[in-house]
Structure 1
Amino acid sequence: MLEIERYDTDDHRLAAAGVVLVFHQGTREGEQAQWRLDLAEGEGGEHLRVPLAADAGNPPAVPSELVALVRGIVRERALRPSGRIRRVRIETRLRDAGDRLFATVVHDHVTVATLGRSTDVESWTDVELRAAAADDELVTELEQRITESGLQKADTDAEAELDRLMRTASPPAREATPGKPGSAGAALVGYIAEHTDRLAAEDLRVRRGEPDAVHQMRVASRRVRSALQAFRRLLDREKIDPLVDELRELGQALAPARDAEVLRERISEGLRDLDPELRMGPVEQQVTRYFARREAEAGAAVLSTLDGDRYARLRTALDDLVRNPPFTERAPRPARKELPRLVARTARRLELAVKTALDPARPAEERDEAVHAARKAGKRLRYATEVAEPAVGKDAKRFAKTLKGFQTALGEHQDTVVARDALRELGALAHSGGVNGFSFGVLHGKDAERAARIEEDLPRLWKKAWTRRNRRWLS
């Protein structure tokens, strides 16, 4: 006998996310009971298996390592049995007159049921003939007799049937784009829904420690926050502003882990590119030690944030926003006309920030801060343009493309600012430890030179991007 028990929340959150958590318990000799976690198709259809612990209770508790992986999906909900597959198998071996095995008839009685608030049960008998010899005439006659008796191989498998039953028992899926089709509100909520789903997908990757997952999760949260800020006139401010604050807090919690990862890679690459005569002392080991503790602490802080009640409430609030957006009277207006007006407000914000950043009369430290402010304003404008692009078309697409070079330069400038702070600290630590910190000073000088070149080039890049032709769709 084989028994498979599906676990989920009472509102089937794992099923909605395309994730399957099951407990396999077979009674064949040598077959070990185990847990299996199937990730969504976007994760490559990967299966994670955990053997049943020797001290597991009855019924066994879900292994803590699997609970940790799906916590971002289930949040405050408990995992409990939500479906069951039971298969009782009888195998009949058929032998010829010489006692040679020529076929096996596999006779399965399968029962599939949902558990919880509602129960649906399906059962069937599945018969399969497995030929063991090449006597085609005899095998064909057996297949015909089995068919005539009304038995046949099932046209579905048990897990697929359980999936179907659980979809039927699940609450209805949210609308893809709430609001009037073609309206500004529908365009905004569709964008927010897309990146809320991306936030959920990256949550699982972060918990698994996958490369670049923290960065992608941070980008998803920033896109949602930027859209809410740029188009706040389409939604009730009293309900949206607290959500913006929570998304900002999440971004700040994710930032140290991502920044440490990027900074380590940047400095390590810079050291590798130095001429051998400029690499003095055990610089690679110093970089490894310096960042190991910071990355470990930042990673632990990220997981602590994702396991917290505040994050769970944020995810619930985002789901509620997408299902039932608090539209204002402007939301039903045509997206083609309303969205460009609101993007224009964000564009003016960037224009003012750039004016400050390009003012040569300001001290270098103030310009660094102003460039960083312009970078953030540029990102918000880019994401706002993404919301409008499906409705506006090629004008918005060209605008985003022409801004890319300027935005890339701003990002590189900020990287040099952050790297120089770390290089100063690395150099000071090397000196206090009695080793040579010269190489860090060389990299510091290179980054300072790079920052100065970018500042010199910013007016040209800005003039190229900020033409009247590129902005004609904003009104």
Structure 2
Amino acid sequence: MAETKREIERKYEADDGTVLPDLTRAAGVAAVTDEGVTELDAVYYDTADLRLAAASLTLRRRTGGADAGWHLKFPVATGIRDEIRAPLSETLPGSLAGLVRSLVRDEPVRPVVRLRSRRDVRLLTGKDGGPLAELSVDTVHAQRLTGPGEAAWTEIEVELADGADPAVLDAVGRRLEKAGIRPSAASSKLARALAETGATVPDGPDRVDGTPAPGTAGHAVLAYVRAQRDALVALDPAVRRELPDSVHRMRIACRRLRGALRTYGTVLDRRRTDPLGAELRWLAGELGAARDEEVLGTRLAGRLDALPGSLRIGPVHARLRRRGAGRADEARRAALAALDSARHLALLDALDALLADPPLRPAAAREAGRVLARAARADLDRADRRFGHALALGPGPARDLALHEARKAAKRARYAGEAARPVLGGPAKRLAARMKAVQTLLGEHQDGVVARTALRELAAQAHAAGESAFTWGLLYGREEAEAAAQERELPALREWAAAPALRASLGR
């Protein structure tokens, strides 16, 4: 079973002659206790082309010390990493293998560096005796395992204790620097070991060499596509770890990428990109079930909580929880199965291939502003047409469906604005903002449509179980009233969202 620990630390340079200052003079530190010396032996794993190192991830198997085992570290911010731990075993645990899968794909991870460290530990405590931080003086010997190369150095680590005030790191750091001990330039021991043993870590993701040139439509579109590809890769482990909003963000990355491939069909040949769009739609759908259940459950629970107790008749909260728990678990399993599938890896590989050898059309070599503005305006016109068609229908299921289609078109136009903003500036920003407003209101309307369907099901289940269906019917009526109020706002929203001035700013 893997566990996660938030690691907040600072690193400093040291040598054999470094003398630590009196750290009890650092604000908040009452005592410094010698905890003895520990011998650590860690082997770091990566692919042959160091994909994990390029993404600032470290994967190691370490013996010695209180936390012997497998450790996978994800960067969070400067000096902050999430360390996922798994028990010591001979082979990489599956719980960690899944977390690096989107980066390593089918490439095996193998030992690349061995670090043997002599760790001299001191515990810093406060006036109440509680731990504030752990300071260690590490004497490190690094050996590259994929070729010749060794290095040795001494460094100081100061790691914040769980629940302690991060200000203690600043206080200790000031004392160390006043004593002439300087911050380390290396982000991690592994990064330093690779650099000092001559290993070459890739600078970053793929780039197209020579074409398309900066300032062209092809350059701008591929930059946006690359950013969304990178988001898909980075969010895969976040979804597996159930980090807040990760499913939603990964789903949005799918939609942004799919929208860009469709919007900029004059730049990238759709004969090659349409199959990718279909796969992105599949992935978004697999992820969507989990997100949709979360949104629906939150909405209905909030509606129940807002009712006076006298109107909550029967075991309504219990019934809603039972419904949500089963469906959420099923949706979660489906999302993880999609991420674990060969189909997902094939999609990521296909996106890499697209970026490495993009199917450029003639418009890719043209000035970016004109091409992106024309594409964004086409998406705005499409959204406006769908909006108008929906408003021409009478209330009912057909109109609900048409409004849902208008929402999807508005979302695509919003993403076109976001993609074009680095090139077009204000007009693209206004397009994205207005389409977001349309998307939001139509999204609330669609959430109501979904909620009413669920409320009918809950009412039927309650009735069949001999419970009162009154509360579910009451909520259904309120959802209907809210939908009617939203629909009264739609004509004015359409007029504002596609105003002539916005159209003019996007050119012809």
Same fold (TM over 0.5): yes
Structure 1 Cα separation of the partners of residues 398 and 63 of structure 2: 65
Change (3 A) 1:417 1:32: closer
Alignment partner, residue 20 of structure 1: 58
Structure 2 Cα separation of the partners of residues 258 and 229 of structure 1: 24
Can you list the C-alpha shifts for 1:403-423, whole angstroms capped at 9, x where unaligned? 333222111110100110011
Change (3 A) 1:231 1:48: same
Which residue of 30, 45, 50 maps to 2:81? Answer: 45
| 1:62-101 → structure 2 map (5 Å cutoff) | 62-87=92-117
Corresponding letter in the other structure for 1:69:
L
Which residue of 289, 292, 298 maps to 2:325? Answer: 292
Q: Are 1:473 and 2:501 an aligned pair? A: no
Structure 2 Cα separation of the partners of residues 71 and 127 of structure 1: 32
Alignment partner, residue 159 of structure 1: 190
Corresponding letter in the other structure for 1:161:
R
Deviates more, 1:350-359 or 1:176-185: 176-185
Alignment partner, residue 111 of structure 1: 141
Alignment partner, residue 226 of structure 2: 193
Corresponding letter in the other structure for 2:205:
R
Corresponding letter in the other structure for 1:4:
A
Corresponding letter in the other structure for 2:82:
E
SS of 1:78's equivalent? coil
The answer to whether the Cα contact below 8 Å between 2:53 and 2:191 also exists between their aligned partners in 1 is: no
How far is 1:127 from its partner? 10
Which residue of 454, 469, 472 maps to 2:486? Answer: 454
Structure 1 Cα separation of the partners of residues 260 and 239 of structure 2: 23
SS of 1:61's equivalent? coil
Structure 1 Cα separation of the partners of residues 250 and 396 of structure 2: 33
The answer to whether the Cα contact below 8 Å between 2:416 and 2:432 also exists between their aligned partners in 1 is: no
Structure 1 Cα separation of the partners of residues 212 and 185 of structure 2: 40
Change (3 A) 1:20 1:3: same
How far is 1:225 from its partner? 0.6
Structure 1 Cα separation of the partners of residues 351 and 364 of structure 2: 18
Structure 2 Cα separation of the partners of residues 356 and 413 of structure 1: 16
Alignment partner, residue 200 of structure 2: 169
Change (3 A) 1:166 1:452: farther
Can you list the C-alpha shifts for 1:36-69, whole angstroms capped at 9, x where unaligned? 11112359511122231xxx3xxx1012211122
Alignment partner, residue 279 of structure 1: 312
Deviates more, 1:265-274 or 1:312-321: 312-321
Structure 2 Cα separation of the partners of residues 459 and 155 of structure 1: 58
Change (3 A) 1:369 1:165: farther
Corresponding letter in the other structure for 1:75:
R
Structure 2 Cα separation of the partners of residues 364 and 107 of structure 1: 71
The answer to whether the Cα contact below 8 Å between 1:4 and 1:86 also exists between their aligned partners in 2 is: yes
How far is 1:168 from its partner? 3.9
Change (3 A) 1:363 1:465: closer
Change (3 A) 1:107 1:40: closer
Structure 2 Cα separation of the partners of residues 271 and 196 of structure 1: 40
Find runs of 4+ consecutive structure 1 residues off by over 6 angstroms. Answer: 106-109, 154-157
- Count of aligned positions: 425
Structure 2 Cα separation of the partners of residues 49 and 171 of structure 1: 26
Q: Which runs of 5+ in 2 are unaligned?
A: 1-38, 121-135, 157-183
SS of 1:37's equivalent? strand
Change (3 A) 1:166 1:428: farther
Which residue of 334, 343, 351 maps to 1:301? Answer: 334
Structure 2 Cα separation of the partners of residues 333 and 255 of structure 1: 37
Alignment partner, residue 68 of structure 2: 33
Aligned-pair identity (%): 40
Corresponding letter in the other structure for 1:85:
L
How far is 1:429 from its partner? 0.6
Q: Which runs of 5+ in 1 are unaligned?
A: 91-105, 129-153
Structure 1 Cα separation of the partners of residues 81 and 487 of structure 2: 47
SS of 1:315's equivalent? helix
The answer to whether the Cα contact below 8 Å between 1:179 and 1:332 also exists between their aligned partners in 2 is: yes
Structure 2 Cα separation of the partners of residues 435 and 166 of structure 1: 71
Which residue of 247, 253, 256 maps to 2:286? Answer: 253
Deviates more, 1:416-425 or 1:205-214: 205-214
Structure 1 Cα separation of the partners of residues 204 and 55 of structure 2: 11
Which residue of 40, 48, 67 maps to 1:10? Answer: 48
Alignment partner, residue 396 of structure 1: 428
Alignment partner, residue 180 of structure 2: none
Can you list the C-alpha shifts for 1:201-227, whole angstroms capped at 9, x where unaligned? 221111012232111110111111101
Corresponding letter in the other structure for 1:314:
L
Change (3 A) 1:239 1:172: farther
The answer to whether the Cα contact below 8 Å between 1:72 and 1:307 also exists between their aligned partners in 2 is: no
Alignment partner, residue 175 of structure 2: none
SS of 2:503's equivalent? coil
Deviates more, 1:295-304 or 1:319-328: 319-328
How far is 1:32 from its partner? 5.9
Change (3 A) 1:160 1:13: closer
SS of 1:471's equivalent? helix
How far is 1:115 from its partner? 2.8
Structure 1 Cα separation of the partners of residues 473 and 266 of structure 2: 49
Structure 1 Cα separation of the partners of residues 119 and 405 of structure 2: 68
Structure 2 Cα separation of the partners of residues 176 and 109 of structure 1: 39
Alignment partner, residue 378 of structure 1: 410
Structure 2 Cα separation of the partners of residues 280 and 386 of structure 1: 47
SS of 2:402's equivalent? helix
SS of 1:113's equivalent? strand
Return the structure number with greater strand share.
Answer: 2
The answer to whether the Cα contact below 8 Å between 1:18 and 1:41 also exists between their aligned partners in 2 is: no
The answer to whether the Cα contact below 8 Å between 2:115 and 2:143 also exists between their aligned partners in 1 is: yes
Q: Are 1:316 and 2:346 an aligned pair? A: no
Corresponding letter in the other structure for 1:124:
A
Corresponding letter in the other structure for 1:169:
T
The answer to whether the Cα contact below 8 Å between 2:293 and 2:327 also exists between their aligned partners in 1 is: yes
Corresponding letter in the other structure for 1:274:
L
| 1:346-385 → structure 2 map (5 Å cutoff) | 346-360=379-393, 362=394, 364-385=396-417
Corresponding letter in the other structure for 1:22:
R
Structure 2 Cα separation of the partners of residues 123 and 42 of structure 1: 27
Alignment partner, residue 178 of structure 2: none
Deviates more, 1:374-383 or 1:14-23: 14-23
Change (3 A) 1:159 1:10: closer
Structure 2 Cα separation of the partners of residues 217 and 404 of structure 1: 18
Larger radius of gyration: 1
How far is 1:33 from its partner? 2.9
TM-score (norm 1): 0.83
How far is 1:324 from its partner? 3.0
The Cα RMSD (Å) is: 2.7
Corresponding letter in the other structure for 1:280:
I
